[in-house]
Amino acid sequence: MSDTLFNLTGVERHFALGETTVHALRGIDLTVQRGESVAIWGPSGSGKSTLLNLLGLIDEPDAGSLHFDGEDVHALADNKLTDCRNRKIGFVFQGFNLVPVLTALENVMLPLQIRGLGHSEARNRASAWLDHVGLARFAAFLPDKLSGGQRQRVAIARALVIDPMLVIADEPTANLDSENSRAVIDLLQQMNRETGVTCVFSTHDPRLLDHVPRHVRLADGLIESDVCHSATGAKPQ
Ligand SMILES: Nc1ncnc2c1ncn2[C@@H]1O[C@H](COP(=O)(O)OP(=O)(O)O)[C@@H](O)[C@H]1O
Ligand SMILES: [Mg+2]
């Protein structure tokens, strides 16, 4: 098995907008190794969500190539692509996307039940993940009884409970205050170190980058800089 999880070469993505075309990604070359933790950062409109949708196999490039886990995504049939996404990728969303009528524990159980796991095994695994993200005491709480930071921790547990090889988080801190934002990014880094899951998240806030080993800056649909810090605590360039 190669160390590379995904590789993009010359990737472009364009959207028709009335009479004009928006060039959201204009030629992205990017390689991410298994087990890396990468922040995609840049201003609003720079192409972060478009890029993460491609990495999450939700969308496909208009030009260039995208390889994920050794497969050329362009050559995969739709059902294989969906299967690959469901088994290998966990998602964390800006708006948390928890099911409001389910408890924290039931929300984390859901992806396992969708995969056909029995109730008690799903419950045990979900409990262990809630404990892992520091929320064991809140298992029986409904999402609206949790703070934003706690909801995002539940969402991180829900993304990781399927043992994905990749976690994609598109602006996971956009609805959080600065203290909770820092805590969520630190939790993602901790999960990356402890489980080896590859982690790619986006943010427009450079203050959140100082514990993240690799920073890819997007501007106008292009990679402006791609910096690795061997030691944590380094500031973005
Ligand atoms: N579905 C779409 N239709 C039209 N334009 C889009 C669509 N998605 C993104 N865009 C445009 O592509 C550019 C990049 O958007 P996006 O990837 O959402 O940036 P970011 O996440 O960095 O804010 C923006 O100009 C945005 O308006
Ligand atoms: Mg976005």
Section 202-219 average pLDDT: 94
pLDDT at 230: 67
pLDDT at 229: 83
The Cα-based distances of 96 to 6, 156, 184 in angstroms read: 26, 9, 12
pLDDT at 1: 74
Section 88-96 average pLDDT: 92
Residue nearest ligand 1's atom 26 by CA:
45
The H-or-E segment that residue 66 falls in is strand 63-68
User: At 8, is the secondary structure helix, strand, or coil?
Assistant: strand
User: What residues flank ligand 1, with Cβ below 6 Å?
Assistant: 15, 17, 22, 24, 42, 44-50
DSSP 8-state code for residue 205: -
Candidate of 19, 22, 46, 203 to mutate for ligand 1, largest count of ligand atoms within 8 Å of Cβ: 22
Mean pLDDT computed over every residue of the chain: 93
Residue nearest ligand 1's atom 25 by CA:
45
The pLDDT tens digits for 103-126 are 999 999 999 999 999 999 999 999
Instruction: Extract the runs of DSSP E, i.e. beta strands, from 79-124.
Output: 89-92
DSSP state string for 110-136: HHHHHTT--HHHHHHHHHHHHHHTT-G
Residue nearest ligand 1's atom 4 by CA:
15
Angle between helix axes 119-132 and 148-160 (nearest 10 degrees) is 130
The pLDDT tens digits for 136-195 are 999 999 999 999 999 999 999 999 999 999 999 999 999 999 999 999 999 999 999 999
The pLDDT tens digits for 4-26 are 999 999 999 999 999 999 999 99
Rounded CA-CA distance 149/208 in Å is: 15
Interval between CA 69 and ligand 1 midpoint (Å):
26
Query: Above 60 in pLDDT, residue 234?
Result: no
Residue nearest ligand 1's atom 3 by CA:
15
Q: Which band of pLDDT confidence, cut at 50, 70 and 90, is reported for residue 96?
A: confident
Interval between CA 203 and ligand 2 midpoint (Å):
8
Q: Checking phi first, is residue 48 left (phi over 0); if not, alpha (psi -120 to 50) or beta?
A: alpha
Ordered structural domains, the chain, with CATH: 4-98+166-228 (3.40.50.300)
Interval between CA 220 and ligand 2 midpoint (Å):
13
Q: Which residue has the higher pLDDT, 2 or 187?
A: 187
195-164-32-57 Cα dihedral, nearest 10 degrees = -160
